[in-house]
Amino acid sequence: MNISLANLQAQEKITWCPGCGNYGILMAVKKALVALNRPSYETCLVTGVGCSGKFNHFVKTYSFESLHGRSLPVASGICLANHELNVVAVGGDGDGYGIGLNHFLHTMRRNLNFTYIVHNNQIYGLTTGQYSPTTAKGTISASSPFGALEEPVNPIKLALASNAASFVARGFAGDIKQLTNLVTQAMQHRGFSFIDVLQPCVTFNKINTYEFFKKRVYKLEDDKSYDKTNKKQAEERCLEWDKRIATGVYFQADLPIYEDALPALATTPLVKQDIKNIDISASCEEFV
Ligand SMILES: Cc1ncc(C[n+]2csc(CCOP(=O)(O)OP(=O)(O)O)c2C)c(N)n1
Ligand code: SF4
Ligand SMILES: [Mg+2]
Instruction: Say if ligand 2 is within 6 A of residue 203 CB.
Output: yes
Does residue 287 form part of some domain? no
Average pLDDT over residues 121-147: 97
Tell me: the pLDDT tens digits for 64-99?
A: 999 999 999 999 999 999 999 999 999 999 999 999
CATH of the domain at 211: 3.40.50.970
C-alpha 159 to ligand 1 mean position (Å)? 22
Burial string for 102-118 (b: 16+ CB within 10 Å, else e) reads ebbbebbebbbbbbbbb
Cα 39 to Cα 5, 62, 178, distances in angstroms = 11, 10, 22
Per the domain annotation, does 153 fall within a domain? yes
Secondary structure class of 264 (helix, strand, coil): helix
Residue 150 counted as domain residue: yes
What's the confidence (pLDDT) of residue 277? 87
Say if residues 72 and 89 touch (Cβ distance below 8 Å). yes
Number of separate domains in the chain: 1
Q: What is the pLDDT of residue 29?
A: 98
179 within ligand 2 shell (Cβ under 6 A): no
Give the confidence band of 288 by pLDDT, cuts at 50, 70, 90. Answer: confident
Share of the chain above pLDDT 70, in %: 100
> Does a structural domain hold residue 283?
no
Half-sphere exposure of 256 (CA within 13 A, CB side): 5
- Measured CA to CA in angstroms, residue 241 lies from 9, 152, 212, 237 at distances of 36, 12, 11, 9
Tell me if 269 is assigned to some domain.
Answer: no
Helix (H) / strand (E) element for 195: namely strand 193-198
Say if 23 falls within a structural domain: yes
Please indicate whether residue 16, judged by its CB atom, sits closer than 6 Å to ligand 2.
yes
Give the mean pLDDT of the chain: 97
CA nearest ligand 2 atom 6, residue: 17
